[in-house]
Structure 1
Amino acid sequence: MRTATVANEFAKMRHLRVGWFLGLLLIGVVAVTVFSWVSMIASADTPAPDDHVWRSVLAGLGLATTLLAPVLLAVLASRQVEIEHRGNGWILSAVSGATPGRLCRAKFLALGSLVVAVAIASCLLLVAFGLAAGAQAPVPVGRWLAYTASVAVVHLAVLAFHLLLSARVENQLVCLGVGVLGVLLGTFGAALPVWARHLTPWGYYALITPADYVGAELVYLDPHHTSVIALAVVGGGLFLVTTARFDRQEA
């Protein structure tokens, strides 16, 4: 992968207002999480245990991520690819040596690095919020680190899928519609059998949910970290194979 190709993708972002959507993802996830936390605290009719703050923040974070990430990742991928469809960018890049597959990989590296940074930043801000909210129990560092790593992997898998879809389908409304469908699959994923959640990248948002209500009690859950590792390996492999096919088809 040429560094210049990736750098060129960052340059394109300045004209596509990608920063606005990344900021919306960051602020939206934090804001919805805080709102969910306030709602949980207000509805509690019994004294909360010491670690209730962390459980409620993590539960709210899982919900906020599932509600916002699928659509905003679809928008980010669509904007980064749509410019190639509009201005014959695929042909111009191929002439300069950046084949369609290589261009998709460059877009993934550029956008993916920023998406991971947003995932890390949102978790750090919410840890700071939990401390400011008066959490008495120690920060469950292991759970926060595991969720941050897991959600970064799922974000990247969803982003890779949408980059490939946007590259294949010129009508970007189709891609955005798939993003909306992803919200539904992620939100109602908890109601599906575990095997069914593994069938789509959005189902993994339900698999990595760190905390949720079981009956009337808010408890920590056991996320499927092994499944996330498998998603990274299989998803990464499929992305590389598919982009390599893009190169051969153009050749």
Structure 2
Amino acid sequence: MLARILSAEFLKIRGKMLWFLAVLGPLGVAGLQGLNYGLRYDYLMNLYQDDPWGGLIRDVSALTLPTLFIGLAILASMAAGIEHQTNAWKQTLALPVPKTAVFAAKALLNVLLLFVSSTLLAVMTIALGATLGFDLGDIPYGDLLQTLYYPFFAALPFMVLQVWLSVTLANQAVPLTVGIIGMIVAMFGSRFDDWVPYKWPHLLNGAGEPLYSVLAGAALGVVLLLAGMAQFARKDVS
């Protein structure tokens, strides 16, 4: 059942801007780093001469978090806005499917779009390194995948939260404002205590183990998903 509802969600976003935005995010990050290297090529190559791939991955990572946070807010708002703008929630919820499945499909849609963005950023980072003349045989795939996918999973609570707000509130200014504030707060998240979710996407903790931040994000994401499904099932959405 969830697969059918998710398929319907993908049909709804056909012709919309969501796929464009999913590609625009990683393209913007890679493009800005391409410009950065174009303007400071000699300096950066000298700075990262011992580990050019590592330097590039770290530079890309610096732009990944703010892009991820603003991206998850915009995508969630646009996906939910399809029903809000056309007053189609009553028709959607009149279908013979559980409300919980509708909410889960909305959440999964956004997670998959952001996963595609993370994957595209990995590909674009490799392409940028190749363009800069880096040795493709030296690509640290483990570091690259950890840098791009670990923050994605650690940020799952915020993905679910934005979907929850966007689906239940007709005024999309509220979830977008929450998302913008979240992006700003997340930029300083490394200064927070380990228990603060905004720190988790930075993959920093007292144990020095990034996987702990990933597991914490995934666990809280599941809790918020279940809570959102339960609340959405009881709520009348107009």
Give me the TM-score of the superposition, normalised by structure 1: 0.80
Alignment of 1:203 with 2:199, yes or no, is yes
In structure 1, give the amino acid aligned to 2:119: I
Aligned residue for 1:34, secondary structure, equals helix
Q: Following the alignment from structure 2 to structure 1, what is the Cα–Cα distance between the partners of residues 67 and 189?
A: 15
CA RMSD of aligned residues (A): 2.7
* Greater mean alpha carbon deviation, residues 110-119 or residues 222-231: 222-231
Q: Is the 8 A contact 1:154 1:204 kept in 2?
A: yes
SS class of match (1:16): coil
Instruction: Say if 1:149 and 1:44 are closer, same or farther in 2 by CA, change over 3 A.
Output: closer
* Contact persistence 2:80–2:163 (CA under 8 A): yes
Residue of structure 2 in register with 1:139 after alignment: 139
Within-5 A mapping of 1:1-251: 1-38=1-38, 41-43=41-43, 48-51=48-51, 53-136=52-135, 138-190=138-190, 192-195=191-194, 198-200=195-197, 202-207=198-203, 224-250=210-236
Identity of aligned residues (%): 24
- Write the distance in 2 (CA, Å) between the matches of 1:237 and 1:78: 21
Q: Residue type of the partner of 2:91?
A: L
Distance 1:188 1:59 in 2: 17
Gapped runs of 5+ residues in structure 2?
A: none
Q: Which runs of 5+ in 1 are unaligned?
A: 209-221
Q: Deviations over 1:25-64 (max 9, x none)?
A: 121121123334456645459564331x222211221121
Residues 9, 110 of structure 1: 8 Å contact kept: yes
Count residues with an aligned counterpart: 233
What TM-score, normalized by structure 2, do the two folds share? 0.84
Relative to 1, partners in 2 of residues 1:155 and 1:58: Cα closer, same or farther, differing over 3 Å?
Answer: same
| Residues 139-183 of structure 1: CA deviation (Å, up to 9, x unaligned) | 222211222331331454332211001122221111111221122
